[in-house]
Amino acid sequence: MRRGFKSLIALALVVCLMPLAGCGGPDNTSNIPMGRYVEEILDLPDGAGSVIAQFPGGDGSLDIYTRSEDGIMLYTTRDGASWEKKDVGWELDESEMLQSMAANSAGEIFVATLEFGDMPIRRMGGQEPPQEQAQGEPQRVQEQTQGEPQRVQGQAQGEPQRVQGQTQGEPQRVQGQTQDGPPQGGAIMGGPQNNTLHIYKITGDSLEEVDVNWATGDRGIMMMSTMKFLNNGDMVVGQYGMGIVQYGPDGAYKRKYGDMQPEEFTVSGNKIYICETSSNSILVYDGETFEQEASLSFDSFTAQTSIAAGLSGAVYLYNSSGVFRMLPDGSIFEKIIDGDLTSLSMPNDFFQWFVEIAEGEFFLVSFDGGESKLHHFTYDPNIAARPENELVVFTLNENRTLRQAAGIFQKMHPDTKVNIQVGMGEEGATVTDITKVLNTEIMAGNGPDIIMLDGLNADNYIEKGVFLDVTDIVNEESSKEQVVENVLRAFEKNGKIYAVPAKFTLPLIFADAKNANAMQNIDSLANFAAAHPDIGIIGDKTADNLLKVFLPGSMPGWLEGKEINEDKLAEYFGAIKKMADTPAEVITPPERRGGGAYGGGGGNVMIRLGPAFEVGESNPNEVFNFAFGNILTYVGKIASMRSLMSANMACERRGDCVMLPLPGLSENVFIPSAITGINAKSKQIDIAKDFLKTMLSKDVQSVRLEDGFAVKVNSIRDTMETEGNFYMAMSNDAVVGGEMLSGGIPSIETQEKIIGLCLAAKTPYLVNNTLAEMILDEAKGYFDGEKDLDQTIADIRERTKIYLAE
């Protein structure tokens, strides 16, 4: 079934999930492989707060340390149902932030803390930015509550990732070399030289400090990630700015592994296992000889891959794709749990603190933005290795909302496997190739049950009758609570709805309040730019960039179904030319020079502001140019309350400022996403409808995934935050000579204004990069003065006629 399509996108279906070894169930004559791990989510004790560590207790029990308003507590359980609460009897000084907890081979527990000096975390240390740092890119460091996992987000709407000090899309390299002396050099995140790391051993009801001769960079001790203990008593610590460092039981420095930023690592016995993501390898070192013993291949690294030691020398890797185990003295990591069948695949959950308390039984703790959850995994040999049914979902690209929905759906339908096929997951495949295969499968009756239309031509599929009418589902959801009607009904044709966006984004323009009337449409904006010849409407006011930035507000106006309104397109070109022809200086994105990382409070989570990745997205460096008066407006795509933060800080710095829909040829444009349609030929219509309902459920809509606003108003409000929950500081030396922006979550009043803009959303902009690139490519000659407007329009007509007719 669907073999041709599956081969193209290279699906890896794991059929055998038996522990230890071998395929097939206990009865090898059976046609159905038996046995797989099952997950149970356990309730933590009332008032426990956030989990900060967990360790195997005695006799198969589990010890969990938590932090709440009552302080740090210890809870013990043997069955996950009943808990024994213990007051630990010790507490940390208010000036210290918990960094890590670890147990040695004797079961003694150690606590690592960071005591900040007199100044807040400031900026990158060392003489020059490290090679892994994208120089000249503004960066944001946001504060987290103590006890939360440390995470990096790859972009403003990006996916939460474990801190690894990487540039966009490029994992940190660990070279695996040792050094004979304490390392010297700049810290990745500089700051006061009088920060202090403390290590304490828990002794009864008190903390006994361990004297450590810390290896330091030229800006002093900064902060650490993970602490582990070898069987010989040595302590291995991940130190930001120095790498992975080994100390003796007496606190003496021994060796350093890797580069400035510590990769994920664990220890087992006297061996150190380091994840080298740049080479898809696990480097194994002898902690007594310091020599590298092996480099183990692992091809399933994701942004959140973690590594942990289990019982009897086993080593585990776990991430969104599943759990992998290497047996003692082994060399291969075997996948024992398919993440798609568990909560591991859900993008809102961040997993850590793996504990194996018995063979085939372990615990993981997850965070979903504040609440801790305890996940219990056990192996059941009496259930099928795979669910009996399969629901096939196609998406051109990875989608966080889709993954969240699949995880929720999987819990409600344990007998049905949600098989997400990612079209662009195959290296070398093009959108055209994938679309052709998809269309062939659909026409042959073998297409996926559900199709996510992001990046595809939705109108073509609707016209060909591919999708089921889901008006009943939309009407049902609309009757329950207030929804953003125009978004939910964006694909309504002749009174019937054939596809439903689960999320949407708002392209907005930020400007001085006194200039609000000039932001009504593309013509008024162009006239406003012409009236201010000495300052650009945006920084990079080249025609090529202006065409892309303002495209979402105008493309729906000149693209009417399968035809281009040439008069409207000419109007758009004329407005862009007027803005481009002003004599104001062109401020292009900065080269890779300078740049800095800043922190607020006690957090160390970064969000990089990189260059634009798609048509219609303004470069985030423009935030600084707008904030400090170098340009007239800032244009950005706002997908969440948090993604509004940088623009809001710029507005607060600038003064009286408004946010308005992006001016164009169309009114109140929005960008629908997670657009879901049900294949009318699916043999599982009922269960496919259930999946669509899951996409629109509170468990998906109200989760902060940062990939778009919910289509339900209550869910948008669920993602609102109070200002004290979050803090951010930004710097861009290359743009404004070291100026800083800082602030917290926008005020409730500002967030309510965003909800008002959401409710006013009227016109969908369906991203069609293929068509946009054709038009913009043909338009270059006009803006370069090589051909007139009539010839340009004629060339576009000829270039696009075949594509539009398909």
Summarised one tens digit per residue, pLDDT across range 631-660 is 999 999 999 998 898 899 999 999 999 999
Scanning the structure block, which residue is given the tokens 């710097």? 731
CA-CA-CA-CA torsion for 35, 37, 405, 767, nearest 10 degrees? -80
Average pLDDT, the chain: 81
Answer for the pair 701, 667: CB distance below 8 angstroms, yes or no.
no
Question: For residue 394, what are its two tokens?
Answer: 């196609």
For residue 174, name the pLDDT band (cuts at 50, 70, 90).
very low
Per cent of the chain over pLDDT 70 is: 79
Tell me: the pLDDT tens digits for 445-465? Answer: 999 999 999 989 898 899 999
> What pLDDT does residue 424 have?
84
User: What distance lies between CA 583 and its chain's CA centroid?
Assistant: 40
Lowest average pLDDT, out of 428-432, 530-534, 536-540, 722-726, goes to 722-726
pTM value is 0.78
Q: In what order do the strands lie in the sheet with 322-326?
A: 306-309, 315-319, 322-326, 334-338
Alpha helices in 542-591 (DSSP H): 543-549, 551-558, 566-580
End-to-end Cα distance, the chain? 27
Q: What is the pLDDT of residues 537-571, one digit of tens each?
A: 999 999 999 999 999 999 999 998 889 999 999 99
Which helix H or strand E contains 54, and what residues bound it? strand 50-56
- 253: which DSSP letter? E
- Residue 167 CA to residue 152 CA, distance in Å, equals 11
DSSP 635-695: EEEE-STGGGHHHHHHHHHHSSEEEEEPPSSSSSEEEEEEEEEEBTT-S-HHHHHHHHHHH
**pLDDT at residue 507 is higher than 80:** yes
- Give the integer Cα–Cα distance in Å for 368 and 776: 41
At residue 163, does pLDDT exceed 60?
no
